[in-house]
Amino acid sequence: MEEARIISICSQKGGSGKSAITSWVANSLKREGKRVLVVDADGQRTIAKIRQREVEQGFELNQACDVIAADNVLEVLDEKFDDYDVIFIDLPRMTGADEAVLALSYCDIILVPVRLGDSDVISAFEFINAAKKMGEVRREKGLDFSLYGVQNFRKPNLRENRQIDEYAAMLGVTLFSNPLPDKADFMRAGTINIPSDFPSVADAYNPFFTEFKQRFQLP
Ligand SMILES: Nc1ncnc2c1ncn2[C@@H]1O[C@H](COP(=O)(O)OP(=O)(O)OP(=O)(O)O)[C@@H](O)[C@H]1O
Ligand SMILES: [Mg+2]
């Protein structure tokens, strides 16, 4: 059997969609028959709390990814590595290069949600640089590493959207060709449903999810 892939959708920016996109993709893979775990390693426990509420509301869990809240990620990985095909780690936003290097050292796959109009371009640049350096170290050790960005909260017809490629080049990151639009219905997905369940966001989400599997070579 293949080894579990370890994925983090992470950035230096709060509220950029890290936890939301993690839940969407984790459950989409689960629906396709993969064994999927989300380790909620953010002290806010965003995913774990939403999941708890859904359980209390009587949602069915048989189609949903597993969720574990934990601070000691390495311990969980050690224990669960053989039981899953894909393990997502939901991390808090990372403010310094050291923090990023430590937290990301065990990830094969990193996806950075990028939002146009971020005021702190330098922090974004530093975060991506730290992640890429981590990747070089991993590759030297013969470990997998793949990093992309995805534009989240894309607004329609904004003149700024023409600048996204320039912005990505400045950050030194390759963006997915399928961005995620800013649409309130994305918030309906929670940690059990997926955007594909809602027609108003399915059309935008599905090509993103297909690209996610292709870029990161997930079966
Ligand atoms: N494309 C989108 N359109 C509309 N709402 C979105 C979109 N992406 C994420 N959201 C919503 O934005 C809010 C913030 O997202 P989320 O909690 O995933 O961010 P985060 O980066 O994990 O934040 P934190 O840094 O606090 O962990 C959530 O309510 C989420 O559902
Ligand atoms: Mg979060």
Q: How confident is the model at residue 101 (pLDDT cuts 50, 70, 90)?
A: confident
- Name which residue leads in pLDDT, 157 or 63: 63
CA distance 179 to 48: 26
Q: Where are the alpha helices (DSSP H) in the chain?
A: 18-31, 46-56, 73-80, 97-104, 121-140, 164-171, 199-215
| Mean of the per-residue pLDDT values of the chain | 93
Please tell me the number of the ligand nearest to residue 50's CA: 1
Q: How confident is the model at residue 102 (pLDDT cuts 50, 70, 90)?
A: confident
Residue 84, both tokens: 């899953």
Give the pLDDT score at 3: 83
Give the pLDDT score at 95: 83
CA distance 17 to 23: 10
Which of 28, 19, 197 lies closest to 113 in space, CA to CA? 19
Q: Stretch 144-151: mean pLDDT, rounded?
A: 96
In terms of pTM, does the model score above 0.85? yes
Give the pLDDT score at 210: 98
Q: Is the dihedral of CA 55, 59, 62, 65 positive or negative?
A: negative
Residue 182 has pLDDT above 60, yes or no: yes
Q: Report the percent of the chain where pLDDT is more than 90.
A: 87
Residue 69 DSSP symbol: E
Q: How confident is the model at residue 186 (pLDDT cuts 50, 70, 90)?
A: very high
Give residue limits of the domains in the chain: 5-212
Mutate to test the pocket of ligand 1, among 10, 24, 46, 176 (most ligand atoms within 8 A of CB): 46
Q: Regarding the domain delimited by 5-212, which CATH topology (the fold level of the hierarchy) does it fall under? A: Rossmann fold (3.40.50)
Name every protein residue with a CB atom under 6 angstroms from any ligand 1 atom: 14-20, 42, 44, 46, 92-93, 152-153, 180, 182-184, 186-187
Is residue 156 classed exposed, middle or buried when 0-12, 13-18 and 19+ CB atoms within 10 A define those classes? exposed
Q: Is the dihedral of CA 144, 73, 24, 153 positive or negative?
A: negative
Q: Stretch 106-119: mean pLDDT, rounded?
A: 90
Residue 1 has pLDDT above 60, yes or no: no
What spacing in Å lies between the alpha carbon of 91 and ligand 2's midpoint? 7
Residue 219 has pLDDT above 90, yes or no: no
Per-residue pLDDT of 49-89, as tens digits, reads 999 999 999 999 999 999 999 999 999 999 999 999 999 99
Residue 58, both tokens: 């009587």
Residue 114 has pLDDT above 90, yes or no: yes
Give the pLDDT score at 97: 77
Residue 40 has pLDDT above 80, yes or no: yes
Q: Report the percent of the chain where pLDDT is more than 70.
A: 99
Give the pLDDT score at 144: 93
Within 8 A by CB and 6+ apart from 143, the residues are 108
Residue 28 has pLDDT above 90, yes or no: yes
Q: Stretch 130-140: mean pLDDT, rounded?
A: 94
